[in-house]
Structure formats: structure tokens, C-alpha cells
């Protein structure tokens, strides 16, 4: 619950609580706060148990933490039945990115070496807005998916 509070912040909160409530009322305030937190936890657990009972025996292993998308995905990736660990371990993102980068750099060097340095239309990487764009051939169109639109 308080995993992100450091020791200095905890001491600051204690000193602030003593100053605000005073040393006489502080124990009563702490008891009230802990009692309230305990009641909230009891209410939460009873609500979880009621939901599990209503869902039936099929969901007896259901955990509410699984509703968090990150937890669900992590749990599914750790599942050995799907064989996703081998796929995840076999995929080297750094290697793939290096290959893509090399391919892009080689394509850029091929196009720059193929065009003469002072040719009309090459203006240092700028796009000539006065030229009409090339019209694609009828066969170059991407496939049309009627269900997707």
C-alpha cells in the first residue's frame, strides 16, 4: 500500500501528524484510521466473495487481479501450454532493429548514388512540390477488403 513512500517522507508525515493532531489526540486518530482501513478491507473481501459465489463453480479460481490487463498478459505469457516463451525468447528485438536500420541505410545510399549530384529535382532531400506525383499502376493498388470498411 505504501510501497512508494521513502523513509524521509514517512518521517515527514509523522512529524506533520504530531503537529496537526498533537501528541494527545494522535493515538486515537491512528486507531480510527486503522479501524476504517480494516472495515474497508473486510467490505472489499466480502464483496469479492459474493461475486465469486454469484459467478458459480466455474469461476472458483477467478482472481480480480486478472482484470488488470498487464497482469492478464503477463500470466498468459508465462503459460507454458501456449509455447509463447520460446517465441518470446527466440525474438531478438535489438537484432531485428539493427537489420531494419541497415536495410534502410543501404536503400538510402543506393538511391543517393544512383542519382547524379546536380540533377534537376534533387534539392538536398527536399520534396519538389511543383512536380505532379507519380500515378500508381492499376496493379500497384493495395488489396481491397470490403469487410474492413
Looking at the domain assignment, is residue 56 inside a domain?
Answer: yes
Q: Is the pTM of this model over 0.85?
A: no
Stretch 27-52: mean pLDDT: 92
Which range of 8-17, 76-85, 108-117 scores highest in mean pLDDT? It is 8-17
Distance, in Å, from the CA atom of 12 to the CA atom of 18, rounded to the nearest integer, reads: 10
- Cβ neighbours of 71 (radius 10 Å): 13
- Same domain for 68 and 48: no
Stretch 24-33: mean pLDDT: 92
Looking at the domain assignment, is residue 79 inside a domain?
Answer: yes
Phi, psi of 126 (to 5 degrees): -85, 155
- Same domain for 12 and 52: yes
In tens, the pLDDT along 112-127 reads: 555 554 444 444 556 6
Looking at the domain assignment, is residue 141 inside a domain?
Answer: no
Distance, in Å, from the CA atom of 27 to the CA atom of 18, rounded to the nearest integer, reads: 10
Q: What residue numbers bound the domain in which 54 lies?
A: 7-61
Looking at the domain assignment, is residue 147 inside a domain?
Answer: no
Which residues are within 8 A (CB) of 121 and not within 5 positions of it... i.e. 6 or more apart?
128, 131
Amino acid at each position: 500500500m505504501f510501497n512508494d513512500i521513502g523513509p524521509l517522507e514517512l518521517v515527514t508525515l509523522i512529524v506533520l501528524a504530531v503537529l496537526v493532531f498533537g501528541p494527545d489526540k494522535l493515538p486515537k486518530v491512528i486507531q480510527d484510521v486503522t479501524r476504517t482501513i480494516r472495515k474497508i478491507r473486510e467490505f472489499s473481501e466480502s464483496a469479492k466473495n459474493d461475486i465469486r459465489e454469484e459467478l458459480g463453480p466455474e469461476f472458483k479460481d477467478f482472481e480480480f487481479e486478472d482484470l488488470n490487463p498487464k497482469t492478464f498478459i503477463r500470466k498468459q505469457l508465462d503459460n507454458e501450454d501456449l509455447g509463447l516463451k520460446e517465441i518470446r525468447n527466440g525474438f531478438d528485438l535489438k537484432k531485428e532493429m539493427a537489420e531494419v536500420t541497415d536495410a534502410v541505410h543501404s536503400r538510402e545510399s543506393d538511391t543517393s548514388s544512383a542519382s547524379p549530384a546536380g540533377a534537376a529535382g534533387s534539392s538536398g532531400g527536399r520534396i519538389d512540390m511543383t512536380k505532379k506525383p507519380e500515378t500508381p499502376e492499376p496493379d500497384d493498388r493495395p488489396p481491397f477488403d470490403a469487410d474492413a470498411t
